[in-house]
């Protein structure tokens, strides 16, 4: 490594070199078919680069999107594209880039959170991110289960190329988003970006299709999916890979899964973004055949403690003093009184004794309602000072729908 390391904000002119750098960091080549695709969502002014003698050796991108949280939808800096050239690793380049990204988002003053998906879970806790959400990955032997019930009168399914039903899909997404934490809004060109279906994204599967469920009131749910034909010694062995499934009604949810698990010539259905409170295991004749594994999804970094706590709603009335520590942003460290319920939340700095103490990482884990204060207290990550306060906080910070993050950004 030379001594010519320079941290700077990207410009439009960096795009092609940045694409190659990120592909390389993720062990891939730039695919001709997708080379320009990421331009649609590229925000050079929010992209931090580290260069060495003028060449990019490190990157970190922020995407400007909102996130659904318990009782609201709020701005959140979506961090992605983090990569350091293998020649320059373990010398603090990521730490410099992350500090620059978090400081930019913090100083902007409009985003109380930063969020990300981690390529490796060991990386981001040190920067104050807490693991806030889990996903269930299914691998379903479609001949081993049946999904109960039948489509009610007036209910019907329709398949189409995703882009031909995009208005309906968007409408369902927007309605589900306000009901469930963990979903990221898709402003500007995001829908076009996600559904343009470049060949490089197919990875051996078909083009993307969508099945929508509608009743006389309109479309109530959809599943975007790809197919793969396959054969073995005993016959057909095809696969359905679901990209995203969202439903507003029980009828839509059941009908979509009945459809996906009964496609002829298919033996396996995969979906990597099931919520942990998915009703599916309760609908099938044999839940054991839903081979599911839970994995980490969204990590949350609280940038503004008071702003973040005031921006969500709470499942039960709570009046509590939290002592928060944040090694990076001094303004977050201190005691905060939270008086809140399902309709409002007031947060004020206070000198009163704290009921609970926790660091900003634990607060990030609690924030979406998917990780309980009792869990963190059992791990020593939340300290109870007033007896009973962990139980009260667990109830208040919980939410009736588990967070789900259906898209890796
Ligand atoms: C949000 C996203 O985009 S996730 C994608 C992250 N990117 C990738 O996985 C691509 C491949 N990996 C890389 O590009 C790099 O290894 C990175 C970005 C993960 C790390 O970059 P580096 O510049 O090596 O990290 P840096 O030297 O700043 O390390 C900071 C600390 O994190 C630790 N660390 C870095 N990477 C890892 C890792 N993969 N696993 C565990 N610890 C790690 C370092 O040991 C160091 O620890 P310390 O503070 O105790 O000394």
Atom 33 of ligand 1 has which residue's CA nearest to it?
123
Q: Is 94 in the pocket of ligand 1 (CB under 6 A)?
A: yes
Has 82 been labeled as part of a binding site? Answer: yes
Instruction: List, in sequence order, every beta strand (DSSP E) within 248-297.
Output: 266-274, 290-296
Whether the Cβ atoms of residue 142 and residue 261 lie closer than 8 Å to each other: yes
Atom 12 of ligand 1 has which residue's CA nearest to it?
83
Whether the Cβ atoms of residue 11 and residue 43 lie closer than 8 Å to each other: no
Task: Report d(CA 201, CA 241) in Å as an integer.
Answer: 13
The SS3 call for residue 134 is: strand
Atom 18 of ligand 1 has which residue's CA nearest to it?
83
| Residue-level pLDDT at 34 | 86
Q: Is 398 in the pocket of ligand 1 (CB under 6 A)?
A: no
How many CB atoms are located within 10 Å of the residue 141 CB?
14
Has 120 been labeled as part of a binding site? Answer: yes
Task: Identify the structural domains of the chain with CATH numbers, from first to last.
Answer: 5-111 (3.40.630.30), 136-295 (3.40.630.30), 304-359+368-397 (3.30.1050.10)
- Between 389-397 and 360-367, two packed helices, what is the crossing angle to 10 degrees? 50
Instruction: List, in sequence order, every beta strand (DSSP E) within 229-355.
Output: 231-232, 235-236, 238-247, 266-274, 290-296, 298-302, 318-325, 334-340, 345-349
Question: If residue 62 lies in a helix (H) or strand (E), which one and from where to where?
Answer: strand 55-69
Q: pLDDT digit string (tens) for 276-318? A: 999 999 999 999 988 889 999 999 999 999 999 999 999 999 9
Mean of the per-residue pLDDT values for the chain?
96
**pTM (predicted TM-score):** 0.97
* Residues lower than pLDDT 50 in the chain: 1
Pocket probe for ligand 1: among 49, 117, 120, 123, the residue whose CB has the most ligand atoms within 8 Å is 123
Q: Is 87 in the pocket of ligand 1 (CB under 6 A)?
A: no
CB-facing half-sphere around the CA of 243: CA atoms within 13 A? 21
Cβ-based neighbours of 233, under 8 Å, separated by 6 or more: none
Question: If residue 329 lies in a helix (H) or strand (E), which one and from where to where?
Answer: none
Q: pLDDT digit string (tens) for 119-138? A: 999 999 999 999 999 999 99
User: How many angstroms does the Cα of residue 80 sit away from the middle of ligand 1?
Assistant: 13
């Amino acid at each position: 490594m030379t001594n010519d390391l320079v941290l700077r904000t990207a410009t439009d002119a960096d795009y092609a070199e940045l694409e190659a750098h990120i592909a390389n960091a993720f062990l891939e080549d730039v695919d001709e078919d997708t080379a320009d695709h990421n331009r649609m969502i590229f925000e050079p002014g929010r992209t931090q680069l580290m260069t060495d003698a003028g060449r990019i050796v490190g990157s970190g991108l922020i995407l400007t999107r909102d996130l659904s949280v318990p009782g609201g939808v709020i701005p959140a800096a979506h961090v992605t594209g983090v990569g350091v050239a293998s020649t320059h690793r373990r010398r603090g380049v990521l730490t410099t880039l992350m500090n620059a990204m978090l400081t930019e988002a913090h100083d902007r003053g409009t985003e109380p959170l930063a969020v990300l998906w981690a390529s490796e879970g060991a990386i981001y806790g040190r920067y104050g991110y807490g693991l806030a959400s889990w996903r269930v990955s299914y691998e379903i032997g479609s001949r081993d289960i049946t999904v109960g019930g039948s489509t009610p009168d007036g209910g019907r399914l329709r398949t189409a190329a995703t882009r031909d039903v995009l208005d309906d899909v968007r409408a369902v997404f927007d309605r589900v988003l306000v009901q469930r934490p963990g979903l990221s809004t898709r402003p500007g060109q995001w829908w076009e970006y996600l559904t343009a279906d470049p060949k490089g994204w197919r990875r051996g599967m078909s083009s993307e299709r969508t099945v929508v469920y509608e009743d006389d009131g309109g479309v109530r749910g959809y599943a975007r999916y790809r197919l793969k034909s396959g054969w073995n010694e005993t016959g057909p062995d095809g696969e359905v890979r679901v990209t995203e499934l969202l439903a507003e009604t029980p009828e839509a949810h059941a009908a979509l899964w009945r459809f996906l698990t009964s496609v002829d010539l298919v033996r396996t259905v995969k979906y990597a973004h099931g919520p942990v409170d998915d009703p599916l295991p309760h609908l099938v004749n044999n839940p054991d055949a839903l081979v599911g594994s839970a994995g980490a999804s969204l990590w949350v970094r609280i940038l503004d403690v008071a702003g973040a706590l005031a921006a969500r709603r709470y499942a039960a009335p709570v009046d509590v003093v939290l002592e928060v520590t944040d090694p990076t942003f001094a303004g977050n460290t201190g005691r905060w009184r939270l008086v809140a319920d399902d309709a409002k939340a007031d947060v004020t700095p206070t000198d009163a004794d704290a009921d609970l103490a926790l660091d900003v990482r634990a607060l990030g884990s609690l924030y979406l309602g998917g990780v309980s204060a009792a869990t963190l207290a059992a791990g020593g990550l939340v300290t109870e000072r007033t007896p009973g306060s962990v139980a009260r906080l667990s109830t208040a910070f919980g939410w009736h729908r588990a967070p789900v993050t259906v898209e890796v950004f």
